[in-house]
Amino acid sequence: MFHRPASRRRLATPAVALGLLCTLSTSAWAGVHDAAPAIAQRGRVTAVASAPGSTTALAGYAIQSTAEASDPAADVSSPGYPASGWYPAGSRSTVLAALLAQGKYADPFYSTNQQKIPKADFAVPWWYRSDFTVTDTSERSYLDFSGVISAADVYVNGKQVAKAADVAGAYTHHELDITSLVRAGTNTVAFRIHPNKPIKNLTMGWIDWLQPPPDENMGIVRDVLVRRGGPVALRDAHVVTKLDVPSLAAADLTVKAKARNETGTAVSATVSGAIGSASFSKTVALAAHETKTVTFTPADSPGLHLTSPKVWWPAGMGGQPLYGLDLTASVAGTPSDTAHEDFGIRDVKAPLNSDGARQYSINGRRLLIKGGGWSPDEFLRWDRRYVEDRLKYALDLGLNAIRLEGHIEPDEFFDLADRYGILTLPGWECCDKWEGNVNGSERGDKWTAADYPVAKASMAAEAARLRDHPSVISFLIGSDFAPDATIEKNYLDALKAADWPTPVVAAASDKSSPQSGSSGMKMTGPYDWIPPNYWYAKREGGATGFNSETSAGPDIPTLDTLRRMMSPADLDTLWKNPGAKQYHRSPSSTFDTLKIYDAALTGRYGAPTGLTDYVRKAQLAQYENVRAQYEAYGRNATDTSKPSTGVIYWMFNSGWTSLHWQLMDRYLDQGGAYYGAKKANEPLHIQYSYDNRSVVVVNNRHTSASGLTARVTLFNTDGAQKYEKTAKGVTVGGDGERSTALTVPSSVSGLSTTYLARLILTDSKGQEVSRNVYWLSTKPDTLDWAKTDWYYTPTTSYADLKGLTSMAQVPVSATASTSSGPDGTSTTTVTVRNTGSGRTPSLLTDVHLVDAKGKPVLPVQWSDNQVSLWPGESTTLTATYRTADLRGSVPGVRVSGWNTPERTVPAT
């Protein structure tokens, strides 16, 4: 992310960089699902499989500070070492994650508890120790790992097998041949993990996203595998695909793998494989310790030419079929090693358009990238279910992409993205060592000679790991800055060697690199509050080009979540003191208060009268702003001049309990930001333009729509209708095309200063297909563009929306019922109705699914929510969720809104 302090924001050479790691396990932690963490128990031993080609992940570790464990490394890393008083840790765990699981510290996500954790505990190396058993020593054994943060000395059975200089960098991949040390029975591997320093190491840091963890994430955050194999090893297996575009009628597959002779004598190996019904085989002669690349192409293996291939598409554009590659290397008819890779067939292009913006297309179809910036858990705890829940939320929001600035997740993340059709944009992060050579006076040490091979090995490892995932559509080799010529060449050489199949982008900002050229992206902010009309200007962060990270900054969670994450004193300060430093916002001096946001909230809606009033105004403000951001980019995507080509909401989620940069909160509760995005990105959508008052229909479906009717009605806040206009016979093409149905006049007689605009789109049968309600003012927000800073543009006068506070309270009735669904899910159906006797609408009526104690049931996916209803109107909503998340409780439905009294009804 863009972080400039003053003016803007934000191994010895590793062994062998190989392909995908596999056989990965999952873990959970308390606080998200309120489930006990799956942590390896002290003394647990991993039984290693014997079959050639098998990989077994170490089940977990015992860990201890070297300040406490002062015994010689040879003793610590030998079988039988007692490890008394050590802490258990999971198979992927930072030091602090393990200590939190053991209850050593109070919940760091609550109030300022994290400040109380002593950093000195993590200023020395920590031991990670694990035992494993082997029954058959006739096969070769290897340690295969990445994700060491940030360097480690490695020992097996009392012998050092790698030094920290050789195992450096969070992303470097290592394979250590430990055959000569492994014995039948119990074996021990031990890692002495060195303290992590993102400013000094090519690793992972937290920039200004959240308060950084005291241990800086030191630990092992990906699985450590014990590989078994025979005399010939198979490595680097992958498939290069070439799809005929635009016909999609055929595809050519090229299969590659490296065959490595592990013996001191020449061997002849047969490498055979299959993809579906296509099989292929080749015999290769290997001299002692020789490695050769074995390649299969349609020319020698006709089955690799596919007619009518199953093509992978992003969600909403088609299906997500995957193919599987299986390879076996045999010597004298005996299997020596195996490999498996899943892959998808698709074509990605991302040229620069005539305005210099990067324009992505998939399988020949142009698309607007609509995404969010991804954050892992602050302590890098992997929980597959929690990740999957968030990715499902992305689909629910109508998003098609996730950007990962550093913190490149484990393999399962990309497996899930492949399955769900969510595009991913991984890349290196800013504001630390990664950009130390090119970021001027910003944070990050300059590189030494030892850093260049680590960076190149990191690129090689991630390229090999990600290349077969069809969800991965680029790699960003820079973030705020593009790499210099030397670093870029190393990156590009590594990508080329890995047969990287998709566009390489120089930076997430408007930068260029010597070989890759212009990034075609912009990083012009904002990162703090700006009004909704900002997004419609084709300048700065407005809806033109590809904005790689941007939002109106703060996203205040729901009241339920605020009470989970902040003390009563914290909550008092939150709404009473705009200038107070907010620990749950950011460590950055630019973003550590809510001063800009709170001034806008008061200026537009009126001063908050209490915590509840502050939160309800925040939800209204966040709904309108997030909606406007996505709507502006959606509207401008097909412009002939300076079109929008991509927008990444900064951020999609937070790694902890946060007050900014999130579309949903830590506990997966949904407020105004979430439902504003969901509304803006619905498949067939009617929207209002803040710049020219046009009413536009945007069609995100592939097929065109015709026979539509668009109607706009303007109301005073008391519900008095002052204007209405209808456009019939509206037609709009597919794939993001738009049609302007009508334009609201600049002046309407009798309209109050604060007023409501209701937009309704119906199909040819008169069925409502899209409804959108805006709260507007005859007095617009005014921006001071000349004083634009890197993180926001000042507002000199605010829209007057204070009239909303005078809206009459409106009763909303609710009836609800619940039924069981597939795979342990339930569905609650709710009908809400405005039963008021007057003419005032219920604005932004929110429906929350709750348990018997009134606590939200999360995660949940609503068909729609935060709806606005005029007297006599009703709508039926559905909520789908895991039945187990009720914890045996009877579900209830809590209904509230801007001008709706809160009430809860049963949903049995």
Q: Is 166 a catalytic residue?
A: no
Q: Count Cβ neighbours within 10 Å for each residue of 43-53 and write b for 16 or more, e otherwise.
A: eebbebbeebb
Among the listed residues 405, 549, 555, 560, the single catalytic one is: 549
Query: CA geometry: angle at 385 spanning 379 and 389, to 5°?
Result: 100
Compute how many other C-beta atoms are within 10 angstroms of the C-beta atom of residue 414. 23
Query: CA geometry: angle at 121 spanning 40 and 125, to 5°?
Result: 70
Residue type, 414: F
Query: CA geometry: angle at 188 spanning 182 and 192, to 5°?
Result: 125
Task: Supply the angle between the helices 611-635 and 672-680 in degrees, to the nearest 10.
Answer: 20
Q: Which residue's structure tokens are 């937070």?
A: 654
Determine whether 6 is exposed, middle or buried from the number of CB atoms within 10 Å of its CB (0-12, 13-18, 19+).
exposed
Tell me which residue of 277, 278, 279, 257 sits closest to 269, measured CA to CA: 257
Q: Is 592 a catalytic residue?
A: no
Among the listed residues 208, 409, 480, 488, the single catalytic one is: 480
Determine whether 829 is exposed, middle or buried from the number of CB atoms within 10 Å of its CB (0-12, 13-18, 19+).
middle
Tell me which residue of 533, 729, 502, 546 sits closest to 646, measured CA to CA: 546
Q: Count Cβ neighbours within 10 Å for each residue of 710-741 and write b for 16 or more, e otherwise.
A: bbbbbbbbebeeebeeebeebebbebbbbbbb
β-strand 250-261 against 267-275: which pairing, if any?
unpaired
Q: What 3-state class would DSSP assign to 434?
A: helix
Assign residue 766 a region: left if phi > 0, alpha if psi is -120 to 50, beta otherwise? Answer: left
Task: Give whole-number Cα distances, 893 to 574, 650, 763, 832, in Å.
Answer: 28, 31, 31, 10
From CA 15, how far away is CA 19, in angstroms rounded?
13
Compute how many other C-beta atoms are within 10 angstroms of the C-beta atom of residue 247. 8
DSSP state of 168: B
Tell me which residue of 831, 837, 839 sits closest to 870, measured CA to CA: 839
Q: What 3-state class would DSSP assign to 244?
A: coil
Q: Across the strands, what pairs with 742?
A: 695
From CA 666, how far away is CA 658, in angstroms rounded?
7
- For residue 512 the two structure tokens come to 């260029």
Q: How far is CA 268 from the centre of its chain?
A: 45
Compute how many other C-beta atoms are within 10 angstroms of the C-beta atom of residue 306. 21
Catalytic residues: 480, 549
